[in-house]
Amino acid sequence: MKNSLLFLVLILFSCQEYKKTPTNEKLLLGDWIRLRKDQLEKIDTVFFQEDSIYASYLIPEINYTHPPNSFSNLFEPFGLGIYADSLDYFKGFVSITDDTSSNGFTRIYLGNFTHYKINQDTFQLFDKVKDSYQTFLIKKLKPDTLIISSAEYGDTITFRKLNYNLDTLQKFDQLIFSTSFCFGSCPVVNMIIDSDGQILYQGEEYVENLGFYKGKLSKAKTAYIFEKFTKADIRNIPVSFNIGHTDDQTFTTSFIVNKRIYKTVDDYGMAATPEMLWAYIPTFFAYQSADLQKIEEDSLPFYNQIHYFDFTKADSILDVSKSEDFLLWNEMRTAKASNQIFTPIYALSFGYPEQEKATKTRKQITAIKTDGRYYQFMSHKTTLITLDLGYNFIEQNLKTRKMRALEKWEK
């Protein structure tokens, strides 16, 4: 009988739900990531339909409200930062509407932070897109595990706590962030953000702000973006990710340390780590948070209307990622004209922005010759201008990268 009673007590104790106490409230604070179905020891949760485009066949067809709209195709991961006075919804609150004038979408970034309420075992998250609360029940809380369920539908979501030691992670002084075209209406941007908040922005296609802009982010917004990428552990993160299908978009991020490219991460199809994906959201929408002033394109030198650079030599090519391309573009924008005679080593291949195709370039550029430091712009046999970066871009930023043989279609 004693054993039976003890067993019953243990069962009742193990089934107790979350109770609001100072200890539990402290345990709730921190960064949390929702575990995928394959990460759970047993199947005790379901996916939001939004959260897995590839595993949709595993998900019951349930007509419930999805989490707030997210940027582009960020289906997963799903994470929260719960703090004493606010909640960081890692996927961001983004209002997305059709834009019939551009055959694309209008995206209004409402920020990442919102407020929340806890009453006993009830957890309420304010959805800034729908202007209403989503209600969940806290089923279990341990130092490393949080399980909640939808108060309306009963679906269970299991989270694991994330722990970061920011003091041990690699810091950086500047980041360059670029997105590419895709088979569709993917927003195409380039930007350089300094640690002091200075931002240089170019909207290429499918965004509200087309053209070149400069401005400044607040200290809080800058620190938030830099911390997001710092948590991605740029020292150890791979340099390339690939989702494994075609026609998607590439996100490219270069991190600058002591005026050199420390690392560039190419992410095709948003296949990178959760921390990288979560950092993309506030970074992409930085232009909506900054006080931007348009740089009129007519005031830009003619040679700054081009980019998509690669260095070629005979039948070899040194690939330049899109974020690195924008860094070189900006270095040439601020470079000084020079009469220095130098020995060209590479040809700098280039292209024009999409919107430039419909206009006439003020001076036709047929070739760019360079040794890495000096860049000689040619129109047939005539030198238009030679620019001096003041340093060798290849030696300083791409020294460890190897050239590869040109493909037949590239020759």
Q: Residue 106's pLDDT is what?
A: 78
Q: 157 with 220, same domain?
A: no
Q: 149 with 186, same domain?
A: no
User: Of 295, 329, 354, which marks where a domain is finished?
Assistant: 295
Q: Which domain holds residue 213?
A: 166-295
Q: 144 with 11, same domain?
A: yes
Q: 260 with 349, same domain?
A: no
CATH code of the domain containing 231: 3.30.1560
DSSP state of 315: T
Contact 321/264 with Cβ under 8 angstroms? yes
Taking the CA atoms of the chain, what radius of gyration do you get in angstroms?
Answer: 25
Contact 176/327 with Cβ under 8 angstroms? yes
Percent of the chain with pLDDT over 70: 80
Q: 290 with 302, same domain?
A: no
Q: Please choose, from the candidates 51, 111, 110, the residue with its C-alpha nearest in 3D space to the C-alpha of residue 81.
A: 111
CA–CA distance, 43 with 191 (Å, rounded to integer): 42
Using pLDDT thresholds of 50, 70 and 90, give the confidence band for residue 206. confident
Mean pLDDT of 187-197: 95
Q: 119 with 238, same domain?
A: no
In the Cβ-directed half-sphere of 398, how many Cα atoms lie within 13 Å?
Answer: 21
Q: 230 with 134, same domain?
A: no
Q: 156 with 224, same domain?
A: no
User: What pLDDT, in 10s, does the model give residues 336-363?
Assistant: 999 999 999 999 999 876 555 445 554 6
- What pTM was computed for the model? 0.84
User: Of 272, 295, 318, which marks where a domain is finished?
Assistant: 295
| Strand-by-strand arrangement of the 404-405 sheet | 336-337, 382-388, 374-379, 367-370, 346-351, 307-313, 316-318, 404-405
Contact 320/398 with Cβ under 8 angstroms? yes
- How many domains is the chain partitioned into structurally? 3
Return the H-helix or E-strand segment holding 388.
strand 382-388
Q: Helix or strand or coil: residue 145?
A: strand
Q: Residue 8's pLDDT is what?
A: 36
Q: 337 with 285, same domain?
A: no
Q: 14 with 38, same domain?
A: yes
pLDDT at 308 over 80: yes
Q: 14 with 80, same domain?
A: yes
pLDDT at 260 over 70: yes
CA–CA distance, 19 with 25 (Å, rounded to integer): 9
User: What pLDDT, in 10s, does the model give residues 96-114?
Assistant: 777 665 556 678 899 999 9
Q: 11 with 154, same domain?
A: yes
User: Of 146, 162, 178, which marks where a domain is finished?
Assistant: 162
